[in-house]
Structure 1
Amino acid sequence: MTHPNPETLYESLSLRKRPEDIAALIKDQLQGELGKQEMLLLDKAASGALRHQVGQYTSMLEKFAEVSGAQVQVGKAIQLFKTDDDATGAAFDDPLVVEAFLVKVSAILHKNPGYNSYQADRLNREERMAVGLDISRRRYNKLFRCLRHLEKKLRTMVREHKKSLFLRVGKHAFAEDISREDFMQDMNSACFIAYYTARCNLRSEFTVEGQQRAYDDIADMLLKRCQADSEKANWWAMAQVYPFPEVLKHLSPEQQGVLLGKWTTLLQEVAVFLEELWQTNDINRETMVVRRGNDSSTWNHTAGAWNKARDGWISLLYALGMEFLLDEMCFGKAMRLIAGDVAAWHRSVGNTGDPNLIVWNQLPLPWEVLSGKATCSRDRVAAACREAKLDPERSGWLAPRTHQPLPFRPTPELVHGVTVSNPYLARILKQHKYFSGKDVSPLYPEQN
């Protein structure tokens, strides 16, 4: 018998485990507590866990991509400045640690961080002597260049950490903010959080049938177990990943206010980055079809974070009875970019286009509304929805989304969004760049 391990469930919140593998862990954790129908439902997913397969292998990475640290640049600075720091650990994966180190070594050279002009910011011989830097111009320039390179790396790290944060939050909301203590407080809540998080983390598929929704019949069953023992459930922890009325109604007004503040702060951070991406990418707003040169991955991850934060923000407004704010400030969703071949596929099967795109094109850019550069009211959004033949409430433009549980679907093996039946074949296709949009490395190159 496999022994239950709630720690493994908790650790999965920052990973990208398959829902099938999380379902198997939940089955271990709740053994003896599940009813017959609950067990049958959970078995639909748990039976597909890797531990039940002969090869126990998936081609899908089970971690989010990590941001490269500054160990190389810091190591070079330590060597040149002869400090007693150690760059062999993981500490310099953290931009704050790198920034502190940069300030420290910049002071040795009497250089202000951020001032990197060779013409305006370097010290001449007299200035170096005045501050006690009795070193040659050649060595001074070498140290100055080292700090420039380190600052450039730090800027890259800050940007990449921001992109990584928006990717993860756009998938599973604030799952990684849940403390171990809160997670372990109630196992029914923990199981819902872990499974729903895994479902949220599913990758997008190359399809015209719509993406899988995270809230399936297994997530619904796990939520109902929490509702059946409402006094024991940790609704605060659950609200970090599922900020919808069924959960939010169990929070105190103070907790709801704190969560509203978190979503508002996230909206503000994402808005700044979205605006930057909009200005630096030549995006076709009318069609949102990818053009050459568009950073579609970064845009789509950031748009996902915006939409996730917007959903949470609207849900909290309704929970607090503050939805009247939408009368004056009602910013819209951010549309994702779509690949040209997917758009063509839609047209070939008779799809006339996403009606949400019509609403997007009739409203001011959402980050401009949030910042006060443009205005947009509830009535204006409702009118745009009606023109697009969308229900303003049920479509998520003006009210919290409603989640109807869908039947569980097995997690596909994907190669750049394309479903491949065998994980070993998927690995080979990835290695040879199939479906990547890049030049393919043939599986069987011609022999000379």
Structure 2
Amino acid sequence: MTTIEQLYKTLDERRRPEDVAEMIVELMKNDLNRHELSVLEKAAQGSLKRSLYGYTSMLETFGTAVGAEKQIKKAIEIFKISQSETSNYHYIENIETFLTETSPLIHKSIGKNDFRSDRLNKIQRKEAGLDLSKRSYNKKWRLLKRIEKRLYKCIQESKKIEFQKIAKHGLAHTISPEDFNADLNTACFIAYFNARSNVRSTFTNQSQERPFDEICEMLFNRCKGNADKTNWQAVSYIYTNEEALHYLADEQKGRLLGKWSKILQEIAEFLEKLWTDNDINRKTMAVKKGNDSTTWNNTAGAWNKARDNWMNLIYALGMEYILDDICFGKVMRLMAADVIAWHLSSGGKLDPNTEVWNILPLPWEVFQEKQFCNKKMIIQACRKAGIDPEKSGWIAPKTQQVSQFKPTPELVHGVTVSNPFLASVLRKNKYFSGKI
């Protein structure tokens, strides 16, 4: 695999920025001037390739949804049907195709899974021409039911993982190899900013590190310096600030706005289900027993990321007048009670954004037009909570800030551990709870 192929592969991974910077050095060392190379070296010098141990305890990939490979292989054996050896039943489309082709063999309707009312009795099996014993028919029926159940679970897990990716890096993982490889400056900026965006949150009572650092700025400036060659549409999939969108035609901006609107619709439906399934304390947004905080926080992050991109495009198209008719708010993440206590004990107070969240209608209900909310209502709520509605990103694009590069910490569930081997030992011995 070539270096550029490895770099593209990182778009769907969680590689450390240092290791991505090392790949960029290899690809661009002859094109960078002395200053640019020194800026990039701030990260690259900490890569695993240059490290004595060359090891990280943190997973470098996102999760994957488990398909129905095991169940379908059993079904192929029991139904005695031939299937291609290359069929991969970890993919939703392949599972759906198998069910569509196999269920009619026993006259089972997909979605009809009530054991008492949806099975065929002896007379119905005979009329359908099924020469099967009750035991054989029930065995096949139950197996198809289990595959359907696995399909539904796979769809739900795939949604969760997709929303987690969107929360971190927007649509970077959907950029095609052709668009990525079209221009080296484009590829390097996207890959590094993607790695920075995917860095895990740390356990702190302060704000998280901003992903756009001085290395991102240098790589983005190279894109601007070669604007005619830069693939700005690919850039806009991960970075939708005013400068990047300036290079897109209105038609391109419109298509991207439509894409983000559709994503918001999908997230809204999922948020509504999570809100119903979890008894969440809206006033404090503190986690309590029974809350699926991981799924909620990932989905809330996806909503906020999609909303930011939607908002940026609204302004880039000169359509901010829409916000006078409809403007949906942010979704607050759930916070661990010990973090809230830590924040309060250190002189802080409950995030004022949570107060705005409590005043306004639920944002997904506004998006679905079940409730009404507009820009004026959000401004009033922000002022009541004592925050600037524009600078806080409630009604306008956020101002881009450039942070200094800081080495990626070795984390176990958000807690910094000095040594990666120690981190793996602590995790193995369950010194930290929760999921990575």
Aligned-residue offset at 1:89: 5.2
Which residue is equivalent to 2:66? 68
Residue 239 (structure 1) aligned with residue 236 (structure 2):
yes
Question: Is contact 1:20–1:47 with CA below 8 Å preserved after alignment?
Answer: yes
Which residue is equivalent to 1:59? 57
Aligned-residue offset at 1:180: 1.1
Aligned-residue offset at 1:204: 1.2
Aligned-residue offset at 1:4: 7.5
Q: Secondary structure at the match of 1:91?
A: coil
The amino acid of 2:92's aligned partner reads P
The amino acid of 2:294's aligned partner reads S
The amino acid of 1:431's aligned partner reads K
Q: Secondary structure at the match of 1:93?
A: coil
In the alignment, the residues of structure 2 paired with residue 437 and residue 29 of structure 1 have an alpha-carbon distance, to the nearest angstrom, of 38
Residue 132 (structure 1) aligned with residue 129 (structure 2):
yes
Question: Is contact 1:4–1:28 with CA below 8 Å preserved after alignment?
Answer: no
Alignment of 1:420-435 (within 5 A): 420-435=417-432
In the alignment, the residues of structure 1 paired with residue 46 and residue 350 of structure 2 have an alpha-carbon distance, to the nearest angstrom, of 35
Q: Secondary structure at the match of 2:411?
A: strand
Which residue is equivalent to 1:79? 77
Question: Is contact 2:190–2:235 with CA below 8 Å preserved after alignment?
Answer: yes
Q: Name the CA shift for 1:23/1:4 in 2 (closer, same or farther; >3 Å).
A: farther
Aligned-residue offset at 1:189: 1.1
Residue 297 (structure 1) aligned with residue 294 (structure 2):
yes
Question: Is contact 1:413–1:426 with CA below 8 Å preserved after alignment?
Answer: yes
Q: Secondary structure at the match of 1:92?
A: coil
Q: Secondary structure at the match of 1:63?
A: coil
Which residue is equivalent to 2:154? 157
Which residue is equivalent to 1:444? none
Aligned-residue RMSD, C-alpha: 1.3
The amino acid of 2:61's aligned partner reads K
Question: Is contact 1:220–1:405 with CA below 8 Å preserved after alignment?
Answer: yes
In structure 2, which of residues 136, 142, 145 is the aligned counterpart of residue 145 of structure 1?
Answer: 142
Q: Name the CA shift for 1:99/1:160 in 2 (closer, same or farther; >3 Å).
A: same
Alignment of 1:374-385 (within 5 A): 374-385=371-382
Aligned-residue offset at 1:435: 2.0
Aligned-residue offset at 1:33: 1.8
Which residue is equivalent to 1:324? 321
**TM-score in terms of structure 2 length:** 0.98
Q: Greater relative contact order (Cα 8 A, min sep 6): structure 1 or 2?
A: 2
| 1:223-272 superposed Cα distances (whole Å, 9 cap, x missing partner) | 11111121121111100000111100100011001100110000000000
In the alignment, the residues of structure 2 paired with residue 254 and residue 376 of structure 1 have an alpha-carbon distance, to the nearest angstrom, of 28
In the alignment, the residues of structure 1 paired with residue 429 and residue 342 of structure 2 have an alpha-carbon distance, to the nearest angstrom, of 24
The amino acid of 2:60's aligned partner reads E
Alignment of 1:155-304 (within 5 A): 155-304=152-301
Question: Is contact 1:4–1:29 with CA below 8 Å preserved after alignment?
Answer: no
In the alignment, the residues of structure 2 paired with residue 89 and residue 339 of structure 1 have an alpha-carbon distance, to the nearest angstrom, of 45
Aligned-residue offset at 1:96: 1.3
Structure 1 residues not aligned, in runs of 5+: 439-448
Q: Secondary structure at the match of 2:148?
A: helix
Aligned-residue offset at 1:90: 6.3
In the alignment, the residues of structure 2 paired with residue 15 and residue 89 of structure 1 have an alpha-carbon distance, to the nearest angstrom, of 25
Question: Is contact 1:415–1:435 with CA below 8 Å preserved after alignment?
Answer: yes
The amino acid of 1:285's aligned partner reads R
Which residue is equivalent to 1:443? none
Which residue is equivalent to 1:5? 3
Residue 354 (structure 1) aligned with residue 345 (structure 2):
no
Which residue is equivalent to 2:32? 34
Structure 2 residues not aligned, in runs of 5+: none
In the alignment, the residues of structure 1 paired with residue 385 and residue 30 of structure 2 have an alpha-carbon distance, to the nearest angstrom, of 50
Residue 121 (structure 1) aligned with residue 94 (structure 2):
no
Question: Is contact 2:413–2:434 with CA below 8 Å preserved after alignment?
Answer: no
Q: Secondary structure at the match of 2:424?
A: helix
Aligned-residue offset at 1:109: 0.4
In the alignment, the residues of structure 2 paired with residue 350 and residue 297 of structure 1 have an alpha-carbon distance, to the nearest angstrom, of 27
Aligned-residue offset at 1:32: 2.1
Question: Is contact 2:361–2:373 with CA below 8 Å preserved after alignment?
Answer: yes
Aligned-residue offset at 1:437: 5.3
Which residue is equivalent to 2:43? 45
In structure 1, which of residues 87, 96, 99 is the aligned counterpart of residue 96 of structure 2?
Answer: 99
In the alignment, the residues of structure 2 paired with residue 251 and residue 176 of structure 1 have an alpha-carbon distance, to the nearest angstrom, of 20
Quick one: percent identity of the two aligned structures?
A: 51
Question: Is contact 1:415–1:434 with CA below 8 Å preserved after alignment?
Answer: no
The amino acid of 1:138's aligned partner reads R
Question: Is contact 1:4–1:25 with CA below 8 Å preserved after alignment?
Answer: no
Runs of 4+ in 1 over 4 A off after TM superposition: none
The total of aligned residue pairs comes to 435
In the alignment, the residues of structure 2 paired with residue 284 and residue 208 of structure 1 have an alpha-carbon distance, to the nearest angstrom, of 20
In the alignment, the residues of structure 1 paired with residue 87 and residue 100 of structure 2 have an alpha-carbon distance, to the nearest angstrom, of 19
Aligned-residue offset at 1:433: 1.7
